[in-house]
Amino acid sequence: MGITLKDLSDRYRVCDGHKFHLKNFEPDDTWKFKSKEDVDELLDHSLKRLADMQGRLYAQNEWALLLVFQAMDAAGKDGTIKHVMSGVNPQGCEVYSFKSPSTEELDHDFLWRCMRRLPERGRIGIFNRSYYEETLVVRVHKEFLANEKMPRQLVTKHIWKERFEDIANFERYLSRNGVIVRKFYLNVSREEQKERFLKRLDDPKRNWKFSPADIRERQLWPQYMDAYEDTIRHTATEQSPWYVVPADHKWFTRRDAGLAQVEISRSAAGHSQRLCCRARGVDEGEIAGSGGRRRLKHVVDRSVLREVVKRIGSVKHTHGQQQHRAQIRNR
Ligand code: ATP
Ligand code: MG
């Protein structure tokens, strides 16, 4: 049908939050897609590329990718994350779910617990909820802020503006250190959430997913929507964009996973190619054409080798390396 994942990612990406309005993003939008089959076709293509791209990210061991998922209950975060994971090697990817903060976590600044879970270089980290809860649930339930034990004089009417600044600065810090941050808001409608809650109640196999607290939060829907809108407005940047992805059609939600996969591929391909080129001093165009992949592999091998030689700095060790190689080959 001629739509690529890049087209999709352009459609739902918010890079400049200043003019962002949630009402411009329809939760039941499916764009030109009519069926599950249309989406599957697109995603199968991305899955094939994904493993290769993640391998590059891992081998290069310089960049990391952080994918943040935020949504109201029953929007499909878990399912989307499962689909993202289906395409990547679990050894290079870690998912962490943030719940209400523990006593230990409340004894620290709000970013502390998230910092501890950041992905290592070469890896992909997925946050199921995140530090964004601080400008969402904590803003809607002001009593949670009181639990955070902040010095009283620091909690003023500017607190939310300050949190936005802190989060934006944190993400800028991460991107300057090689951690690429991409944020996904799964945009489900209030009506669809109701349908999903009812299904959970009716179906014994899904009962466990339902919590009475979900109903209480649902009653605060308008406050949550205001909080999401304000959050995206203040934190969508060119460096760390938000994706506001329609989540009312379950078959379409797999496409959200596709967008995340595209980000993995992009960061792996874009950054590792550019770096390798710089290391070798060749033109990027040289590896962009057909047969580029093989040449790129060559580039990686050479530059890594050169780095090893530079670090070891003596023939003796290089010779030792050769001996190790020989030993391995003979086993
Ligand atoms: P699911 O319901 O699909 O299993 P979930 O992400 O909703 O997944 P829950 O255990 O139901 O997981 O909820 C976690 C709760 O923790 C959410 O209501 C969330 O708003 C809350 N939470 C997360 N971070 C914070 C925070 N910093 N302060 C207060 N509450 C938080
Ligand atoms: Mg929940």
pLDDT at 38 over 70: yes
Q: What's the pLDDT at 188?
A: 96
187 forms beta bridges with 246
pLDDT digits (tens, 9 = 90+) for 90-125: 889 999 999 999 999 999 999 999 999 999 999 999
pLDDT at 236 over 70: yes
- Which of the ligands is closest to the CA of residue 142? 1
**Which residue is associated with the tokens 């009283």?**
152
Q: What's the pLDDT at 75?
A: 95
Residue 61 — pLDDT band, cuts 50, 70, 90? Answer: very high
**Where are the domains positioned within the chain?**
5-270, 272-330
Residue 56 — pLDDT band, cuts 50, 70, 90? Answer: confident
pLDDT at 18 over 50: yes
pLDDT at 313 over 50: no
DSSP notation for 51-109:
HHHHHHHHHH-S-EEEEEEEESTTSSHHHHHHHHHHTS-GGGEEEEE--SPPHHHHTS-
Residue with the smallest CA separation from ligand 1 atom 14 is 99
B/e letters for 236-258, b = 16+ CB within 10 Å, e = fewer, are bbeebbbbbbbbbbeebbbbbbb
Q: Give the chain's radius of gyration (CA, Å).
A: 23
Cβ contacts of 145 within 8 Å, gap of 6 or more: 138, 155, 159
DSSP state of 120: P
As a whole-number percent, the residues of the chain with pLDDT over 70 amount to 75
Residue with the smallest CA separation from ligand 1 atom 31 is 100
Residue with the smallest CA separation from ligand 1 atom 25 is 100
Residue 50 — pLDDT band, cuts 50, 70, 90? Answer: confident
Q: What's the pLDDT at 277?
A: 35
User: pTM of this prediction?
Assistant: 0.82
Pocket test for ligand 1, best of 128, 133, 210 (most atoms within 8 A of CB): 133
Helix axes 212-219, 190-202, angle to 10 degrees: 160
pLDDT at 55 over 50: yes
Residue with the smallest CA separation from ligand 1 atom 22 is 100
d(CA 185, CA 83): 16
Query: Which residue in 277, 279, 268, 270 sits closest to 296, CA to CA?
Result: 277
- Which of the ligands is closest to the CA of residue 208? 1
Alpha-carbon separation of residue 44 from 8, 75, 87, 295 (angstroms): 15, 23, 9, 26
Tell me how far the alpha carbon of residue 99 lies from the centroid of ligand 1, in angstroms.
Answer: 4
| Mean pLDDT, range 13-37, rounded to an integer | 90
Query: Which residue in 290, 268, 286 sits closest to 277, CA to CA?
Result: 286
Q: What's the residue count for the chain?
A: 331
Bigger pLDDT: 5 or 134? 134
**Which residue is associated with the tokens 């949670």?**
144
Pocket test for ligand 1, best of 70, 98, 100 (most atoms within 8 A of CB): 100
d(CA 5, CA 322): 44
Residue with the smallest CA separation from ligand 1 atom 30 is 100
pLDDT at 240 over 90: yes
Of 41-45, 127-131, 202-206, 309-313, give the lowest mean pLDDT range. 309-313
Give the position, in ligand 1's atom list, of the atom nearest the Cα of 141: 29
Q: How many CB atoms lie within 10 A of CB 132?
A: 25
pLDDT at 299 over 50: no
Helix axes 221-235, 159-176, angle to 10 degrees: 50
Give the position, in ligand 1's atom list, of the atom nearest the Cα of 136: 20
Query: Which residue in 30, 228, 71, 47 sits closest to 140, CA to CA?
Result: 228
How many alpha carbons lie under 13 Å from residue 37 in its C-beta half-sphere?
Answer: 2
The pocket around ligand 1, CB under 6 angstroms, is made up of: 73, 78, 97-101, 129, 133-134, 137-138, 144, 211
- Which of the ligands is closest to the CA of residue 137? 1
- Which of the ligands is closest to the CA of residue 71? 1
Q: What's the pLDDT at 301?
A: 44
Domain 5-270, second-level architecture: 3-Layer(aba) Sandwich (3.40)
Tell me how far the alpha carbon of residue 73 lies from the centroid of ligand 2, in angstroms.
Answer: 5
Mean pLDDT of the chain: 82
Judge contact between 179 and 66, C-beta under 8 A: yes
Q: What's the pLDDT at 282?
A: 35
88 forms beta bridges with none
Tell me how far the alpha carbon of residue 14 lies from the centroid of ligand 2, in angstroms.
Answer: 26
